[in-house]
Structure 1
Amino acid sequence: MLMINILAGLLILTSLLVIAAKTVKNAAALYALQSLVLVSLFVYLAGEMNAHSLYMWSVSAFITKVVVVPAILIYATKKIDESGVPQGMNTAWFIPITALIVVICYMAAAQLEVPLAEHLKPALSVSLSHFLLGLLCIVSQRNILKQVLGYCLMENGSHLTLALLASDAPELVEIGIATDAFFAVIIMVVLVNKIYRTLNTLDAKQLTELKG
């Protein structure tokens, strides 16, 4: 139980580091680290909840989230110059905003009537927080490739929520979710490269040609 809550806390910390990272390459590496924490959390949850399907979830999550998706994002940066893109929101605001999100989600999770052990509700609150932190990354960053990482954070949060609330779901469900996320990232990276080749910028505020 203690290890599960520690790993859940590490998910929040790594999310904050991903959002605050100055380059997409560093953010992708931190996302890989976070996904490794998520994989470890799946393994501990499998033992705690006696859900053997979560072991298979951890394997597929390791392949897609720890290895493949970060590799795609890092590869995408090789042909893109992101040095001229402003950082967006001041990073000093991320800590109080993150704290507020965690507190609100913890209070919300405590009120939920779900078939979940009481000591696992902190992990559920983290999964809900993760979704909102991904949204924070999307709205606070001007670098559109960093916004893709915001989607990845949201997907990690929804993945953990599913593991907690539907741990007995077939492995096929997990494979479907992982595959959807994998192809979504590929499509978004292709679109980002197309935008960069056309407009020579990754700054979301400079994409005026996309406005109606």
Structure 2
Amino acid sequence: MTGSFIINNLAGLLVVTSILTTIVRAIPTSIVMYGFQSLVLVMIMFAIGNYFAASELYSWAVTAIVTKVILVPLIVYLTYRKMKKAKIEGGILPVSVIVIFAALIMFACHFVVQPVKLPLVSELKPVLAVSLGHFLIGLMCIISQRNILKQIFGYCLMENGASLTLALLANRVPKLVEIGITTDAIFAVVVMCYFARRIYCVLHTLDANKLNTLKG
């Protein structure tokens, strides 16, 4: 199998895991699915690094293992563990509608990237489509979910999509920049989890629809 074939198929697996992270109701299951997705992203980084002989991506991938595969899921789980009694609200949209929207997003992204003429991605256009679609699926997760922790995962999915785009198009940037890009998610997730805990302490719910009680 060629390198491009492996990368494109791993990118397809990334889409599947992003949809599962969005639609599963149980928070622990979402945490596991996000961790697995981040592991797939790491595998793609290693594969792209090998494909383009970009050794800089290897350090980025190792950093992603620590941050995205281990720390982010751990932080969200520790936050969830302190709020286990919180009711797990369903999504605003039915699961079937979310899956259809995700399919439409990926279908549209496939055509959006076709005019791109960069030699760098001539054989990896499916990956470019996935990176764009992954960002939009993360946005859909934020919009379609009522549970604040699930909305945090939406941000993480968007960040993974952006990381994939950078790994594909900017895989030779200095290592310090790559590491900084990868670790920024940690600080954002810490802040969001802190506010989620504060909201739960005050309102005893993680339902984002009930935040209108904070007005006035």
Structure 2 length-normalised TM = 0.94
Aligned equivalent of 2:42, options 36, 39, 42: 39
Residue 101 in structure 1 maps to residue 105 in structure 2: yes
| Per-residue deviation, 1:207 | 1.0
| Per-residue deviation, 1:117 | 3.0
**Alignment RMSD, CA only?**
1.2
Aligned equivalent of 1:9, options 7, 12, 20: 12
Task: Give the secondary-structure state (helix, strand or coil) at the position aligned to 1:207.
Answer: helix
Q: C-alpha distance in 1, partners of 2:27/2:77?
A: 7
Q: C-alpha distance in 1, partners of 2:139/2:12?
A: 18
Task: Give the secondary-structure state (helix, strand or coil) at the position aligned to 2:171.
Answer: coil
| Per-residue deviation, 1:126 | 0.3
Corresponding position of 2:204: 200
Sequence identity of aligned pairs in percent? 46
Size of the alignment, in residue pairs?
212
Task: Give the secondary-structure state (helix, strand or coil) at the position aligned to 1:88.
Answer: coil
| Aligned pairs (5 A) from 1:76-115 | 76-80=79-83, 81-115=85-119
**Which stretches in structure 1 are left out of the alignment for 5+ residues?**
none
Corresponding position of 2:164: 160
CA-to-partner distance for each residue in 1:151-185, whole Å, 9 max, x for gaps? 00000000000011101001111111122111000
| Per-residue deviation, 1:115 | 4.6
CA-to-partner distance for each residue in 1:61-89, whole Å, 9 max, x for gaps? 01000000001111111111333523331
Residue 62 in structure 1 maps to residue 61 in structure 2: no
Moved more, 135-144 or 83-92: 83-92
Task: Give the secondary-structure state (helix, strand or coil) at the position aligned to 2:190.
Answer: helix
Task: Give the secondary-structure state (helix, strand or coil) at the position aligned to 1:202.
Answer: coil
Aligned equivalent of 2:30, options 27, 32, 39: 27
Aligned residue identity for 1:158 = A
Moved more, 175-184 or 51-60: 175-184
Task: Provide closer, same or farther for how the CA distance between residues 84 and 44 of structure 1 changes in structure 2, counting only shifts above 3 A.
Answer: closer
Moved more, 4-13 or 171-180: 171-180
CA-to-partner distance for each residue in 1:34-68, whole Å, 9 max, x for gaps? 00000000111011111111111110001000000
| Aligned pairs (5 A) from 1:155-194 | 155-194=159-198
Q: C-alpha distance in 2, partners of 1:82/1:8?
A: 34
Contact 2:121 2:128 in 1 (8 A): no
Aligned residue identity for 1:123 = V
Task: Give the secondary-structure state (helix, strand or coil) at the position aligned to 1:39.
Answer: helix
Contact 1:134 1:150 in 2 (8 A): yes
Corresponding position of 1:147: 151
Moved more, 114-123 or 60-69: 114-123
